[in-house]
């Protein structure tokens, strides 16, 4: 499949994507170098699912080009939400590589994915094992404590740790102490999420 075919024959909202043809890493990378609408992101997620290209997408979410990595992570989130069976193929690799994600824009989507799969009780993406949670707990706390990580990412981290606390009770006290420590230096949005989690813990 040529890049020219890729661009000339499958244009949807700023995205060019052959949903039912072989999708190469070169073609997928080319699509990710351009600004993409939400509709285009959703279409690309469908294309990746149809072409069994989730592994390529995960690799591109770590690309040195920050915009490519961000868009790949955004599509990966859509893949998890709308095409869980396709995401399940790379779920283990996603878990192993989670802490290596340094792109703050991509971190937002990685954290959203982990929020989703850490609360799933049923479905095609298996619920995280205790071993998975133990592997991820420290990186999630690190992101929460990192002053350079955006609040939107930290909000997801708070929810992830609250989800983990069901099987790891020690996390509850540690998270509450961390929230007490961080609240004074963060925004109203952070404070609102912290308040929500405290209420959630009170009901448990």
Residue 200 has pLDDT above 80, yes or no: yes
Eight-class DSSP state of 54: H
Average pLDDT estimate for 160-166: 94
- Return the number of other C-beta atoms located less than 10 Å from residue 33's C-beta: 12
pTM of the model as a whole:
0.87
User: Tell me: the pLDDT tens digits for 55-98?
Assistant: 999 999 999 999 999 999 999 999 999 999 999 999 999 999 99
What are the distances in angstroms from CA 121 to CA 33, 72, 117, 129, 160? Answer: 36, 26, 9, 11, 14
Q: What is the pLDDT at residue 120?
A: 62
Q: Is the pLDDT of residue 20 over 70?
A: no
Banded pLDDT at 11 (limits 50, 70, 90):
very low
Average pLDDT over residues 30-40: 95
pLDDT in tens, 113-137: 999 999 866 445 666 899 999 999 9
What is the tens place of the pLDDT at every residue in 86-119?
999 999 999 999 999 999 999 999 999 999 999 8
**pLDDT in the model for residue 24:** 84
Residue 178 scores a pLDDT above 60: yes
List the helix and strand counts (H, then E) for the chain. Answer: 12, 2
Residue with tokens 């699509």: 31
């Amino acid at each position: 499949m040529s890049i020219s075919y890729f661009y000339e024959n499958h244009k949807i909202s700023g995205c060019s994507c052959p949903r039912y043809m072989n999708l190469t890493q070169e073609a997928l990378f080319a699509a990710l170098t351009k600004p993409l609408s939400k509709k285009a992101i959703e279409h690309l997620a469908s294309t990746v699912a149809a072409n069994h290209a989730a592994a390529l997408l995960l690799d591109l979410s770590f690309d040195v080009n920050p915009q490519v990595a961000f868009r790949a992570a955004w599509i990966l989130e859509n893949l998890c939400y709308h095409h869980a069976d396709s995401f399940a193929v790379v779920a283990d690799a996603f878990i192993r590589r989670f802490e290596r994600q340094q792109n703050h824009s991509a971190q937002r989507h990685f954290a959203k994915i982990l929020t989703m799969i850490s609360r799933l009780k049923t479905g095609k993406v298996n619920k995280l094992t205790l071993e998975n949670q133990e592997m991820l707990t420290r990186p999630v706390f690190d992101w929460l404590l990192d002053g350079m990580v955006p609040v939107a990412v930290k909000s997801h981290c708070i929810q992830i740790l609250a989800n983990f606390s069901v099987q790891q009770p020690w996390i509850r006290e540690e998270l509450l102490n961390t929230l007490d420590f961080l609240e004074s230096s963060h925004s109203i949005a952070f404070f609102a999420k912290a308040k929500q989690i405290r209420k959630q813990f009170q009901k448990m």
